[in-house]
Amino acid sequence: MKIFIDSADLNEIKEAFSWGIIDGVTTNPSLIKKALAGKNLKIDQYLQELLTLTRGFPVSLEIEGEENGQIREEQMLREARNLYHQLKLFNPAFNIKIPVNPTLNPTEKHAFESLKVIKTLTKEGIPINATLIMTPEQALLAAKAGARYLSPFLGRIDDYVQSGKENKGIKAGVELIQEIKAVLNHYSFHTEIIGASIRTIEHVRECAKVGVEISTIPFKIIKEMIAHEKTYEGVKKFQEDMVPEYREFLRK
By annotation, the residues acting in catalysis are: 97
Distance CA 130, CA 127 (A): 10
Which residues, at least 6 apart from 172, have a Cβ–Cβ distance to it below 8 Å? 157, 158, 161
Which residues, at least 6 apart from 8, have a Cβ–Cβ distance to it below 8 Å? 27, 28, 31, 32, 34, 35, 36, 50
